[in-house]
Chains A and B, each alone.
Chain A
Amino acid sequence: MARTPILGRGLLTGMAVTFSTMMKTIFLPSKHLKTVNYPKVKEEPVARARGVIALDQEACTVCMLCARNCPDWCIYIEGHKEEKQPDKPGGRVKVRAELDRFDIDYALCMYCGICVEVCPFDALFWSPEYEYSEAHMGKMMHDMDRLQDWLEAVPDAPALES
């Protein structure tokens, strides 16, 4: 059904909408407020939210692929090699890379997620944590222990298709 054109009808409709929204927000804030009073009330991010990059230290092999593929060069990795003596005599000496330093400078990071994609050992994950800002830019470099902490919030990978 076509509306009959009345002068000023659209204006009045618009004003009614804003007024009713205002009244609802004032008198029933719990129901109609679309925002959250952040530091007092915290919003639960969705499980797969891309808040921050977490690191699984056990899985990392210090292959440096993430650091080399990072467009901002904001990942700093240092490691050393450890020799593991063979269990049985005559066995081969195994060499294993140990992680000494894995820092991500979040002042530089642009959250492209290339490091997560490129990691061949599933050591990097997107974590939904988001409270890691600092008052000073230089303190935005977060070390591997901090990155390990964020791993807890990472949801398990979905089951593989059979």
Chain B
Amino acid sequence: MSGLLDNFWVLLAGKVLIIATLIPVAGMVIGFAEMKLSAKMQNRVGPYFAGGRWGWAQLIADGEKFFQKEDIIPEEADAPVFKLAPMLVFVGTVALFVVIPFGPGLSIRNLDVGIFYALAVSSISTIGVLVAGWSSANKYSLMGGLRAAGQLIAYELPLVLATVGVVVMAGTMSLEGIVQAQAGWFGELGWTAGFPFIIPQFVGFVIFMTAALAELSRIPFDMPIAESELVMGYVTEYTGFRFLFFFLAEFANMFTMGALAATMFLGGYWVPGLSADVLRVAGPIILSVKIFALVFLMIWFRWTFPRFREDQLQSLAWKWLIPLSLVNIVATGIVKVVF
């Protein structure tokens, strides 16, 4: 058995298989949670009949419906690019999982530039969105795509700058290292924190979550797919399976953004008082609980707040979030040097 596991290709296939099942399942769970919770927040029942109890099979039934639909490519559309776009959106989500640690040593690959990689890869989906809007040959799609590009460029900056504070605190860019720094296992470097970074980096956490919501283009920031103005933005022309890809990518992206935030600010797989051996087993569960808490927060925001106007959205990013995150970096640096 161990001989088989040592084989690089077998190990790789195993990891790919785990991620390939985990992401759609997580996306579906989050999608279902969104349906159910939004219903409760509006005094409704939500999905009820699919699957017998609580309507648990609602999203499976939805997926089945999308498979049966006709796959339409508009005549004017740039067909190869049009087909490529949903895949590009999904690639960013999947690739981000390479660096997320689910337990001590339980990551696909513990890159030294983990955060750098994660942020770089997550912005690939921006290109997917822009490409989808451009190739659809539809004015609503194009407007949606351009709005998405403007928004994602604006919010990429605070997202990156908010993580700098964490990197300064931890002294490493590896996500595994950041979790260990929060756990206080950094003995040889003289760092014995033992608390999650949300305590010293609360401002960073708020900025990161706000920017993450904007990156996901979820409701306070959903200008790119503003239904009342742009039909459905860059997904207007997509049908069937390709639409399903965008749909699932939104929820899977919530999961990955939640995973990043949980790892950087909430201590990832670590909770105080558990040893590394216990965490090796309990880690994935602890991380999932933290991720779903953050996902609940995102759902809660979505069903509470109305949509920003385009200029408000830009001024929030450029006038507030970016200066605030720069101040946060300076303050973190000073505190790090003094103490």
Contact = CB atoms under 8 A, between A and B. Distances in A.
A80 to B, nearest CB: 49
A37 B42 contact: no
A20 to B, nearest CB: 10
B202 interface: no
B44 A14 contact: no
Interface in A30-86: 32-35, 37
A18 B300 contact: yes
A22 B37 CA distance: 7
B318 interface: no
B44 A22 contact: no
Interface in B38-60: 39-45, 48
A108 interface: no
Nearest to B220: A11
Interface size class of B (residues with CB under 8 A): 10 to 19
Contacts of A35: 43-45
Contact of B44 (A17, A19, A34): A34
Contact of A15 (B37, B43, B44, B304): B304
B135 to A, nearest CB: 37
Contact of B300 (A15, A26, A32, A34): A15
B305 interface: yes
B300 A33 contact: no
A34 B43 contact: yes
B66 interface: no
B42 A21 contact: yes
A15 B303 CA distance: 9
Given A15-B300, A15-B304, A22 B40 contact: yes
B304 A33 contact: no
A35 B82 CA distance: 41
A17 B42 CA distance: 10
B304 A17 contact: yes
Nearest to B44: A35
B48 A19 contact: no
B41 A33 contact: no
A54 B48 CA distance: 33
Contacts of B304: 11, 14-15, 17-18
B43 A32 contact: yes
Contacts of A18: 41, 300, 303-304
Contacts of A32: 43
Chain B CB count within 10 A is highest, among A15, A17, A32, for A15
B85 to A, nearest CB: 34
A21 B41 CA distance: 5
Given A14-B305, A15-B304, A18-B303, A26 B44 contact: no
Interface string B94-112: 0000000000000000000
A32 B301 CA distance: 22
Contact of A25 (B43, B48, B303, B305): B43
Nearest to A10: B305
Contacts of A37: 45, 48
Contact of B43 (A11, A19, A21): A21
Q: Which 5 residue pairs spanning A and B have beta carbons closest together?
A: A34-B43, A22-B40, A25-B40, A18-B304, A18-B41
Interface of B: 37, 39-45, 48, 300-301, 303-305
Given A25-B44, A33-B45, 12 more contacts: A11-B304, A11-B305, A15-B301, A18-B303, A21-B40, A21-B42, A21-B43, A22-B37, A22-B41, A25-B40, A33-B43, A34-B44
8 contacts: A11-B304, A14-B304, A18-B41, A19-B300, A25-B39, A25-B43, A35-B43, A37-B48
